[in-house]
């Protein structure tokens, strides 16, 4: 067996030593150790949206893809032959940090509150400030204007993101209390999972107050009466497992009900489980939920084409797991994750319809909430 000469094995041993001592292969060649800790800016600047001088929408469809950052959208783009977000007219970049002092990574409660109210709060807060005072949500502004309102989610309807639009509690963990507030609210359509958190009398109260409770998305409804449909005891099953009803079916049914209001409507549709796919570091889970999102976006943009007074906005409460797309073998995608929790990475916002130009910018998440509330108020 031929032995390696000193000229070959000394560099090999040296590089192996450097890599084992905290260098990447490239770093060893450059003499740069791996490092990850940097001092942070404790007061990140908020970049406000420009004052909009054009026409205002009469209805708003807000789609939230929980946990989806640029990497998740890249996964959809490279893994599918259809990329619905490309159909939007405007796209911007959004910061998502909460107001927890030096904390930069938000949870869905604080992130959802920023989108629902236009205000920062602490992680875990459901549409309340640091003193637990309620923050007025876009749903409440819309109801004040006489608009129809709806929430759709593939998690429990009392989960953090949908909860921030329809309730006020000091902790996202209080799903039974959130459910009671949702049941007692004036929200016209509630679709999702989580019936285990609704005591039987809550459904009875909905019916006694003139509302309807459906068990199947195909059930006939009176569009002039409130509708509650909780299609799973827990969160709904994944898209890959054949979620039924699908997110797009719930969105279509909800909009078909809300559009009967002559004063317009506001609806929040959450593709909740992209986040959970990121937590699991499962590319298959992420991709299945992103494909479901793609269907929702295509439906909503098709609807907007025939209803040009409607504004459609797609954004994210936060990024999850540091998702990135890399080349695998034989042309496959190698999806990598930097961790299994949320990150402070910027996320995209996409928009089409009256007022969509305001989102063609670098924004803080509170500016999305403030802008949508300004449109509703006008």
Per the annotation, the verdict on 99 as an active-site residue is no
Q: What gap in Å lies between CA 197 and CA 217, rounded to an integer?
A: 20
Q: Cβ distance 293 to 68 under 8 Å?
A: yes
CA atoms in the 13 A half-sphere facing the CB of 220: 0
Which residues are paired to 268 by β-bridges? Answer: 62, 151
Q: Are 290 and 284 in contact (CB under 8 A)?
A: no
Cα–Cα separations (whole angstroms), residue 78 to 194, 287, 334: 33, 10, 11
Choose the catalytic residue: 59, 108, 158, 272. 108
- Dmax over CA atoms of the chain, in Å, equals 88
* SS3 of residue 312 by DSSP: strand
Nearest C-alpha neighbor of 363 from the set 70, 94, 51: 94
The whole-angstrom separation of Cα 75 and Cα 95 is 21
Active-site positions read: 108
């Amino acid at each position: 067996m031929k032995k390696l000469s000193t000229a070959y094995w000394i560099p090999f041993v040296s590089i192996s030593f450097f890599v084992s001592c905290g260098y990447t292969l490239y770093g060893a060649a450059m003499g740069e150790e791996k490092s990850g800790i940097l001092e942070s800016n404790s007061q990140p600047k908020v970049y406000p949206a420009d004052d909009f001088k054009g026409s205002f929408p009469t209805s708003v469809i807000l789609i939230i893809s929980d946990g989806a950052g640029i990497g998740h959208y890249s996964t959809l783009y490279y893994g599918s032959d259809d990329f619905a977000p490309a159909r939007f007219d405007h796209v911007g970049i959004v910061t998502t940090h909460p107001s927890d002092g030096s904390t930069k990574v938000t949870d869905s409660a604080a992130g959802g509150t920023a989108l629902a109210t236009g205000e920062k709060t602490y992680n875990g807060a459901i549409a309340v400030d640091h003193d637990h005072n309620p923050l007025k949500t876009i749903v409440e502004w819309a109801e004040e204007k006489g608009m129809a309102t709806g929430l759709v989610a593939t998690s429990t309807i009392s989960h953090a993101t949908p909860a921030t639009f329809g309730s006020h509690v000091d902790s996202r963990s209080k799903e039974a209390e959130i459910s009671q507030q949702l049941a007692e609210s004036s929200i016209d359509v509630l679709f999702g999972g989580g019936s285990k958190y609704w005591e039987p009398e809550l459904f009875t109260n909905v019916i006694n107050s003139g509302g309807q409770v459906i068990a199947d998305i195909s059930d006939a409804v009176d569009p002039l009466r409130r509708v509650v449909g909780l299609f799973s005891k827990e969160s709904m099953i994944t898209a890959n497992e054949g979620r039924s009803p699908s997110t797009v079916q719930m969105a279509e049914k909800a909009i078909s009900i809300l559009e009967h209001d002559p004063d317009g409507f506001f609806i929040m549709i959450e593709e909740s489980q992209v986040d959970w796919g990121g937590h699991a570091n499962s590319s298959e889970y992420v991709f299945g939920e992103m494909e479901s999102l793609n269907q929702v976006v295509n439906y909503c943009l098709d609807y907007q084409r025939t209803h040009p007074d409607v504004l459609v906005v797609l954004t994210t409460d936060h990024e999850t797991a540091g998702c990135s797309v890399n080349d695998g073998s034989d042309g496959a995608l190698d999806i990598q994750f930097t961790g299994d929790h949320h990150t402070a990475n910027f996320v995209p916002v996409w928009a089409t319809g009256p007022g969509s130009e305001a989102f063609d910018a670098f924004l803080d998440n509170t500016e999305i909430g403030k802008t949508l509330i300004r449109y509703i108020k006008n």
